[in-house]
Amino acid sequence: MRAFTFFFLYSCIFYGQDMDSISRLKKNTLDRGLSAYFNKNDEIVKESINQLYKFYTEDNDSAILAKIYQYKAMYHDLKYQIDSSFYFYNQSMNISKLTNDSLEVGRRLLSITILQREAKDFLGSEISSIEALQYLEPIKSYRYLQNVYSNLGLVSGEIKQKEDALKYFDLSLKANRLNKNSKRKERGYLHTINNIGLIHQQGSEHEKAIEYFNKGLKYDSIKQKYPDLYALLLENLTYSGIALGRKNFAEDHYNEVIQIREKEKEFSDLSITHVLLSEFYIEEKSPSKARFHANEALKYAKQTHNNKRWLEALKLLSDLSTGNQSKAYLNEYITLNDSLLQQERQLKNQFAKIRYETDKKEKENEALKIENEKTLAEAEAQKQRATIGLLLSGISIMFLLSSISFFRFRRKKLLFLTQLQKIEAREEERRQIAKSLHDEVAGDLRLLHRKLEKSLLLEEAQKLEMVKDNVRNLSHQLSSVSFEEVPFRDQVINLVSDYFSPEFIIKVNGLKEIDWSQANNSIKRMLYLSLRECIQNCQKYAEASKMTISFSIHKKSVLLDVVDNGKGFDTATQKKGIGLLNLQERVQELNGTLTIESEVGKGTHIIIQTPLNA
Amino acid sequence: MPEKIKILIADDHQLIIEGILSYIKDIDHLEIETTNSCDDAYAKIKVALTETPFQILFTDLSFDNATENSRIDSGENLIKTIKQEEIPIKVGVITGHSETNRVFSVIQNLNPNAYLLKGKCNTAELTFAIEKMLTGEIYYTHEIHQKLLKRALIDIQMDDVAIQILKELPKHPKISNLEGIITKEDGSLLKIRSIENKLAKLRTDLQANNNTDLVLKAKELGILD
């Protein structure tokens, strides 16, 4: 037993660990994939996706499926396959919509909106951003709201809506203030400050722009904490400074930025710095340096598909070179520009198509869902109908059974009632006979008696007197006159007292304890007559000196138990007299039973059992 | 008996009336009226109340000549009506009914001053009964008396407390010693007052002169083993 308990406990712990380790494993995989995405390591992202697939096949968790789509989107993003990335973000979002995970939906929309902005689908980006707000605002996810607002600001900046852009950045800053995650808070704040600066820079308000950039750069230990942001701010500050003619540290600043970005592998951004430096050197009339940086910019731009910088680099190179080479660069520029424009359009269309298809699917899903619900409801109704049918048939069977038993019971009762009526009719007959005996026969006898007395025939008169008494007794015995008026208890006592004598002691038990009003009159009459028969028999034949009469009730039947200490008889050999036969008949008429136990020399025991009521 | 005694006899059979009359015709100071129906008997009693009321009514129990129009259809109902109206008259029953049920029912419910049986009665008994009735005593003929006694015996026999008292009585010199010995049906003890009351009733029922006599009678009558 102890061993078993131990095993049980052990397995419990093991199981618990197992559960724990699975969820931890999932989280690890997700974290690993996410950081790999930020570090632009597509292989690890792919690994994570495979890992997640395994989890998904194990437990079919739709949250995991959403994550798989998200990571796929991230993977394609790293591969610069924007349309695929967009597609998978959409898929992931749709699953999260089904599971009602607003945060996840908002996050995917944020990714989508950034994708769209980068692909210059500004209208689409704005729409997606607004949708993201609808999901994120109710759940007060300030961490992502700040990003969405920031994105909206950037989009507005791109379409030259300076006022809107500033408004959105302001909202982004507000959300930022409410954000609790300190690292993201700081990064978000610095990003927004930079963006606001950029907006002013675009509007050639360089003084204002510099104010914001400086604000960002003065942020506590920014260089150590967020070198990428430091580089960004520094770059923008330098650019605005140059625009204002402050070129003193421009070269150093740009070089510092390049240094940082090379260290941080920000190749896409490196192309920007190189373009800016190239431009700077053109201004400074050092074309060789300018050409070097233009080439560098072209290299990084190509590598990172930074089309904007690619074009800028080509243009710079075209300007910096002469003759055929310049023409070649220009051609390349034009071809690229055309293809980029086309690509842009295509992407926009692609986005729209994907959106449309997912919307369509969503609607189909909705329709399916409704259909499903309908069939479910149908099935439910069917089930209910079946249940109702079952119940109904059950009820009808029960009804049938009960009515059968009811009718059987009723028939029995009717039979019993006719029996009772028969008995009553017989009683009535007895009464009539008794009456005529009493009135006519006894009356005639009385007359005769008087005549005999008068004729002094005394002996005859005495005999006649005996006959008259007999007739009278017979009459009384037959009749049950005033029977109803005397309570059964008194009737029994009266009966017993008629036969009681010091030589024949009769003891009665249980008579007073029974509530005789619940017993049927015919039954009481039967009991009375039976008891009288018993006593008479005993007195006539048994030579008993003692008799005990006991009444008792068992459930719904009355038990009459008569014991005497007489000489008894052999029940096997001795025929039943007319009295006993009558007794048996009377008892059986009322569905009762009569049992006679007797042995020669050992007295007689008569048991009568009868229902208490009809 | 200086004054005349007014007696009313009610019986549905004229022959019986004649018989009774023949028995009591020799008794002095009797003023006798007869009737064959209860209604008439009641009317006669009521009318006589205003002048010289009847002192005694002898009635049968069953009146076979009673019809649906009869207001009072039996001797029992006649007696009941008289008792209800508290008419000052002694009532005696002269009847052939000796069935214990009827006798007991009449005596217990109507409490007549006398109960005589037609077959057994004679001039002497009638005279005695009338005398007793006039003095307010009760007279039952011997057979009825025996019936009542036996009935009382059966009742006593079924009365556990009475049996206990009768059994314990010879063992104790003082009645007060019985207290704490006699238990009721529910197990509680009987108080001395209740015991004494019970004894008095037993003496009456068994017509015993004292407690010793009572125990002897009980043994004699078969109540005690």
CB contact under 8 A, B15 and A447: yes
ipTM: 0.83
pLDDT band with cut points at 50, 70 and 90 for residue A483: low
Residue B180 pLDDT greater than 90, yes or no: no
Written as six digits, the tokens of B168 are 């314990």
Token pair of A102 as six digits: 């607003």
Residue of B nearest to A490 (CA): B101
Hey, is A559 helix, strand or coil? strand
CB atoms within 10 A of CB A401: 10
Counting Cβ atoms within 10 Å, is residue A415 exposed (0-12), middle (13-18) or buried (19+)? exposed
pLDDT at site A122: 85
CB contact under 8 A, A498 and B100: yes
Per-residue pLDDT at A540:
82
Please check whether residue B22 is in contact with residue B13, taking contact to mean a CB–CB distance below 8 angstroms. Answer: no
Whole-number Å distance between alpha carbons of A96 and A593: 83
Token pair recorded at residue A469 = 């008494």
**In which region does residue B37 sit, left (phi positive, over 0), alpha (psi from -120 to 50) or beta (all else)?**
beta
Q: What is the pLDDT of residue A576?
A: 66
Q: What is the pLDDT of residue A266?
A: 79
Residues of B with Cβ-Cβ distance to A488 under 8 angstroms: none
- Do B207 and B216 contact (CB within 8 A), yes or no? no
Question: From chain A, which residues contact B within 8 Å (Cβ)?
Answer: 435, 438-439, 442-443, 446-447, 450, 465, 468-469, 472, 476, 481-483, 485-486, 490-491, 493-498, 500-503, 505-509, 511-512
pLDDT at residue A613 is higher than 80: no
Token pair 């009336």: residue? B17
| Count of residues making up chain B | 225
pLDDT surpasses 60 at A6: no
Is the pLDDT confidence value at A393 over 60?
A: yes
Contact B27, B20 (CB under 8 A): no
**Which residue in B98, B101, B221 is closest to A482 by CB distance?**
B101
- Residue closest to A338 by CA, chosen among A309, A370, A307, A374: A307
Selecting from B105, B221, B222 the residue whose C-beta is nearest the C-beta of A482 gives B105
- Over 50: is that where the pLDDT of A10 sits? no
Residues of A in contact with B153 (CB under 8 A): 497, 500
Inter-chain touch A493–B151, beta carbons under 8 Å = yes
Min Cα–Cα distance to chain B from A491, Å: 6
CATH 3.40.50.2300 residue spans of chain B: 5-140
How do residues B204-219 score in pLDDT, each as one tens digit?
Answer: 888 888 888 888 888 8
Cα separation, A193 vs A181, in Å, equals: 18
Residues 34-63 of B with CB under 8 A from A: 62
Among B15, B19, B102, the residue with its CB nearest the CB of A482 is B102
Does the beta carbon of B21 lie under 8 angstroms from any beta carbon of chain A?
Answer: no
Are the beta carbons of A510 and A551 closer than 8 angstroms? yes
**Contact yes or no for B132/B138 (Cβ under 8 A):** yes
From B85's Cα to the closest Cα of chain A, the distance in A is: 22
pLDDT of residue B35: 94
Does the domain formed by B5-140 have CATH 3.30.300.20?
no
Domain B159-221, second-level architecture: Orthogonal Bundle (1.10)
Contact status, residue A298 vs residue A313, Cβ threshold 8 Å? yes
B residues 77-116 near A, CB within 8 Å?
96-102, 104-105
pLDDT in tens, A84-114: 888 888 888 888 888 888 888 888 888 888 8
Closest CA to A317 of A337, A338, A297, A339: A297
Measured between beta carbons, the chain B residues lying within 8 angstroms of A451 are none
Q: What is the dihedral of CA B178, B179, B182, B183, to 10 degrees?
A: 180
Which residue in B has a C-alpha nearest to residue A436's C-alpha?
B64
- Interchain contact, B98 vs A505, CB within 8 Å: no
pLDDT at A3 over 60: no
Per-residue buried b or exposed e for A219-235, using 16+ beta carbons within 10 Å of the residue's own CB: beebeeebbbbbbbbbb
Q: Are A510 and A472 in contact (CB under 8 A)?
A: no
Task: Please identify among residues 159-218 of chain B the ones whose CB lies closer than 8 Å to any CB of chain A.
Answer: none
Answer whether B158 sits within 8 Å of A493, measured CB to CB. yes
Q: How many CB pairs under 8 A join A and B?
A: 71
Strand A604-611 vs strand B30-35: parallel, antiparallel, or unpaired? unpaired
Average pLDDT, chain A: 82
Q: Rounded to an integer, what distance in angstroms lies between the CA atom of residue A179 and that of residue A186?
A: 10
Q: Distances in Å between the alpha carbon of B26 and those of A529, B23, B115, B126?
A: 45, 7, 21, 11
Average pLDDT rounded to a whole number, residues A500-513: 87
Min mean pLDDT across A12-26, A517-531, B13-27, B113-127 is at: A12-26
Interface test with B, best of A454, A498, A507 (most B CBs within 10 A): A498
Which residue on chain A is closest to B99 by alpha carbon? A476
Phi, psi of B150, deg, nearest 5: -60, -40
- Considering only CB atoms, B101 lies closest to which of A472, A486, A502, namely A486
How far apart, in whole angstroms, are the C-alpha atoms of residue A114 and residue A105? Answer: 14
The DSSP line for chain B is: --SPEEEEEE-S-HHHHHHHHHHHTTSTTEEEEEESSHHHHHHHHHHHHHSS--SEEEE-SB-TT--TT-S--BHHHHHHHHHHTT---EEEEEES---HHHHHHHHHHH--SEEEETTT--HHHHHHHHHHHHTT--EE-HHHHHHHHHHHHHHHHH-HHHHHHHHHGGG-SSGGGGTTT-B-TTSPBPPHHHHHHHHHHHHHHHT-SSHHHHHHHHHHHTS--
Answer yes or no: is pLDDT of B111 > 90: yes
DSSP one-letter code for A351:
H
In this structure, of A431-445, A516-530, B182-196, the range with the lowest mean pLDDT score is: A431-445
Q: Directed axis angle between helix A82-98 and helix A102-118, to 10°? A: 160
Half-sphere exposure of A343 (CA within 13 A, CB side): 17
B94 or A78, which is more confident: B94
CA distance A157 to A166: 8
> Residue A551 in 3-state DSSP?
strand
Cβ neighbours of B19 in A, within 8 Å: 450
**Residues A546 and A507 sit within 8 Å (Cβ to Cβ):** yes
Domains of chain A, start order: 487-611 (3.30.565.10)
A517 has a pLDDT exceeding 90: no
Give the 3-state secondary structure of residue A286. Answer: coil
- Cβ contacts of B221 on chain A, cutoff 8 Å: 502
pLDDT at A552: 92
CA of A612 vs chain B CAs: smallest distance (Å): 23
- The amino acid at residue B28 is D
Residues of chain B with CATH 1.10.10: 159-221
